[in-house]
């Protein structure tokens, strides 16, 4: 496809998905909640993230609360998210940094967020987009997979996906494209056995089966 027509293809895909799906909203725009929930979401399924996040925020309200708790309790609360020992360690380290260097507030600058151990581009972009409502493309597994299947890009990793998408997705859709592709990825364009016969954007897809 001609590169110049890709932004138009993106617009059409977004318009169709928008008419079929209600984009999700985080239950809270609290930057600390968005940050922790995104860390919990690493390498697990969406339903495990939701459960671990719910359990965690039943006992924690702030980074100070994290530091008061026995690490074993943190591990136990986030267990449903998998890799809970590593994630608990990260959450404790991040909370320490927030308390000691940032007055317990999550910084809104992406460059600052990226200085935290365990915070990569996906997490930094999620905080920018979902907590601070700043344009950012959150590339999770759904966005990476679907963008490539559709033939919008041809990328090997999420970093490359973010860069390539930033060239063809109008900025006003940077936050929305994640929300729509996440729902589409959960319902229709699943990692294995995508339901192409039920897909509303099949006409725009290079990989339709
Ligand atoms: S046609 Fe199939 S592969 Fe393409 S976006 Fe739809 S579900 Fe995914």
Domains annotated on the chain, with CATH: 3-24+136-204 (1.10.1670.10), 31-131 (1.10.340.30)
- Please give the C-alpha separations between residue 193 and each of 104, 185, 190, 209, in angstroms, as whole numbers: 44, 11, 6, 9
Centre of ligand 1 from the C-alpha of residue 4, in Å: 22
Query: Is the Cβ atom of 149 under 6 angstroms away from ligand 1?
Result: yes
With H, G, I as helix, E, B as strand and everything else as coil, classify residue 30: coil
Query: Is the Cβ atom of 208 under 6 angstroms away from ligand 1?
Result: yes
Centre of ligand 1 from the C-alpha of residue 47, in Å: 22
Which of 118, 54, 117 is CA-nearest to residue 80?
54
Query: Is the Cβ atom of 91 under 6 angstroms away from ligand 1?
Result: no
Assessment of whether the complete model's pTM goes beyond 0.85: yes
Query: Is the Cβ atom of 196 under 6 angstroms away from ligand 1?
Result: yes
Centre of ligand 1 from the C-alpha of residue 107, in Å: 37
Spatial contact of 18 and 26, defined as CB atoms under 8 Å apart: no
pLDDT for 80-126, tens place per residue? 999 999 999 999 999 999 999 999 999 999 999 999 998 999 999 99
Query: Is the Cβ atom of 152 under 6 angstroms away from ligand 1?
Result: no
Separation of alpha carbons 166 and 114, rounded Å = 19
Q: Can you give the pLDDT at residue 4?
A: 62
The ligand 1 atom nearest the CA atom of 198: 7
Give the H/E segment covering residue 155: none
pLDDT for 170-196, tens place per residue? 999 999 999 999 999 999 999 999 999
Spatial contact of 155 and 148, defined as CB atoms under 8 Å apart: yes
Query: Is the Cβ atom of 92 under 6 angstroms away from ligand 1?
Result: no
pLDDT for 24-56, tens place per residue? 777 789 999 999 999 999 988 888 999 999 999
Q: Give the DSSP letter string of 173-199.
A: GHHHHHHHHHHHHHHTS-SSS--GGG-
């Amino acid at each position: 496809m001609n590169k110049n027509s890709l932004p138009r293809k993106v617009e059409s895909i977004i318009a169709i998905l928008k008419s079929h799906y209600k984009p999700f909203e985080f239950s809270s725009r609290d930057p600390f909640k968005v940050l922790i929930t995104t860390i919990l979401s690493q390498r697990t399924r969406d339903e495990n993230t939701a459960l671990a996040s719910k359990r965690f925020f039943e006992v924690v309200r702030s980074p100070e609360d994290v530091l008061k708790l026995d690490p074993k309790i943190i591990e136990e609360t986030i267990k449903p998210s998998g890799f809970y020992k590593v994630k608990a360690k990260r959450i404790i380290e991040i909370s320490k940094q927030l308390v000691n260097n940032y007055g317990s507030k999550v910084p809104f600058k992406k460059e600052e967020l990226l200085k935290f151990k365990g915070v990569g581009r996906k997490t930094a972009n999620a905080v920018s987009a979902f907590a601070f409502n700043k344009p950012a493309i959150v590339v999770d597994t759904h966005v990476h997979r679907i963008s490539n299947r559709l033939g919008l890009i041809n990328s090997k990793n999420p970093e490359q996906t973010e860069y390539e998408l930033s060239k063809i997705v109008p900025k006003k859709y940077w936050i929305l494209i994640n929300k729509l592709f996440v729902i589409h990825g959960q319902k229709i364009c699943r990692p294995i056995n995508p339901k192409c016969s039920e897909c509303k954007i099949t006409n725009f897809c290079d990989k339709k089966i």
